[in-house]
Amino acid sequence: AWANVPMGPPDPILGVVEAFKKDTSDIKVNLSVGAYRDDSGKPRVLDCVRKAEDFIISQRLDKEYIPIIGLDSFNQAAIKFAYGENSAPLKENRIAVAQSLSGTGSLRVAASYIQRFMGSNTTILVPKPTWGNHLSVFHDAGLKTTDYRYLNKSTNSLDIQGFLSDIEAAPNGSVILLHGCAHNPTGVDPSPEQWKQIMEVSQRKKFVNFFDVAYQGFASGDPHKDAYSLRLFTDNNLPIILAQSFAKNMGLYGERIGAVSIVCNDVEEKNRVLSQMKILIRPLYSSPPISGARIAERIFNDPSLNKEWLTELKGMADRIIEMRSLLKSHLVNDFNSKLNWDHITSQIGMFCFTGMTPEQVVRLRDEFHIYLTSNGRISVAGVNSKNVRYIAESFHKVTQ
Ligand code: PMP
């Protein structure tokens, strides 16, 4: 039956992982995967997660289906975390929210909602570059995308003029995808002032603002700081759709826990929107999984676990920030690189856009056993106190 099905291309990031696994060298370094590693290069399960799990097991809970929109105690806590406890739409109970399958599932539910209620001709404005899966999710949901300029390649910083002029030229009423913090893959975020400029255009052009927030608290260590852009737009009453992921900030990757929310004008509108979110979710996956929601709910709602989490979260963010400055300092001070490496420390979040060319990426792999994606992006989580000097030395050798 499937004789005409062509072989699909491999996933670009998983391809790098496969090559890394085959490499038998002792000094090999994997800088491709977007998952946290501790200073010995191991995946990390947070202590607060272990404690929440122990508590949940001790309760001997049943495994009945949870509602189509997930656990209410999780949903309410998730939006409070994002929008802030003083947010007007939160206090006025006018945010429609559903637990969904991590960030990706939340993006997909939101995209299908946009397709159904704004129409198949809706175009989503996306930064160039953006996380590759954004394009696949939106296209599979039947939407079109167009790019706005984002990265200035010569400085590895934000092309704010290009950004503003491209969104200015887009039709009024467009949907714009915004990475709330820690832009993936570039690690380049607008400054607070630049966010205000972007908001001004969005407000004037009556855009629907579709925020993807996959790294809240993970970028700076402070969840409030990382929610700045979302809260700026929400507090100014711009239309908001939000996809949240707790993969990175709670280290719950495989639990697939996230939330999709839509800010509405009043409670009555919220009820209508929520009824339609249920109608969309039911045929997609019926209802979300229970385990991650229970864990996240405990971490949000148990004061002592919450405190412990915020400390552990800051610890992960701080380790990444420290590795950024060590990497730069080795390049500049130990190896006397004459290139400008300021972007390593000015970029934030898990990723750094090094500026390596595809040829340099190949040399790093073949001569130095260092694996990164061909766009020159590294996951700083793969850098640790043992390999940082070697990575700096290798970066210097291929860029000399
Ligand atoms: N959005 C962005 C920008 C991301 O980087 C990621 C994680 N790579 C996600 C969404 C969602 O990932 P997940 O589905 O694992 O939560």
The CATH number of the domain holding residue 395 is 3.90.1150.10
Q: How confident is the model at residue 168 (pLDDT cuts 50, 70, 90)?
A: very high
242-264 confidence digits (pLDDT tens): 999 999 999 999 999 999 999 99
136-165 confidence digits (pLDDT tens): 999 999 999 999 999 998 888 999 999 999
Q: Is the CB of 103 under 6 A from ligand 1?
A: yes
Count structural domains, the chain. Answer: 2
The DSSP bridge pattern shows strands 351-353 and 377-379 to be antiparallel
As a whole number of angstroms, the distance between CA 252 and CA 316 comes to 14
What is the overall mean pLDDT for the chain? 96
Name the residue of 181, 184, 213 whose CB sits within 8 Å of the most ligand 1 atoms, as the mutation to test its pocket.
184
Could you say which of 159, 166, 212, 226 is catalytic? 212
Q: How confident is the model at residue 370 (pLDDT cuts 50, 70, 90)?
A: very high
Residues 158 and 191 in one domain: yes
Question: For residue 51, is it within any domain?
Answer: no
Question: For residue 5, is it within any domain?
Answer: no
Cα 19 from chain centroid? 25
Q: Is a pLDDT exceeding 90 seen at residue 339?
A: yes
Among residues 264, 274, 255, 226, the alpha carbon closest in space to that of 75 is found at 274
Q: Which residue carries 């420390």 as its tokens?
A: 345
Q: Is 2 a catalytic residue?
A: no
Instruction: List, edge to edge, every strand of the sheet that includes 257-263.
Output: 95-101, 257-263, 240-245, 208-213, 175-179, 123-128, 144-149
351-361 confidence digits (pLDDT tens): 999 999 999 99
The DSSP bridge pattern shows strands 175-179 and 208-213 to be parallel
How would you class 142 by CB atoms within 10 Å of its CB: exposed for 0-12, middle for 13-18, buried for 19 or more?
middle
Asked which of 301, 329, 344 is the last residue of a domain, the reply is: 301
Residues 281 and 144 in one domain: yes
Output the pLDDT for position 121: 86
Q: Is 318 a catalytic residue?
A: no
Work out the average pLDDT over 18-44. Answer: 93
CA 215 / ligand 1 centre spacing (Å): 8
The DSSP bridge pattern shows strands 95-101 and 257-263 to be antiparallel
Q: Taking the model in full, what pTM does it have?
A: 0.96
Residues 189 and 164 in one domain: yes
Angle between helices 192-204 and 160-168 (to 10 degrees): 10
Element holding 226 (H helix, E strand)? helix 223-226
Asked which of 301, 329, 345 is the last residue of a domain, the reply is: 301
35-62 confidence digits (pLDDT tens): 999 999 999 999 999 999 999 999 999 9
Q: Is 131 a catalytic residue?
A: yes
177's CB contacts (< 8 A; 6+ apart) are 124, 125, 126, 127, 130, 134, 210, 212
Residue numbers of the domain that contains 185 = 65-301
This complex has an ipTM of 0.99
Question: For residue 189, is it within any domain?
Answer: yes
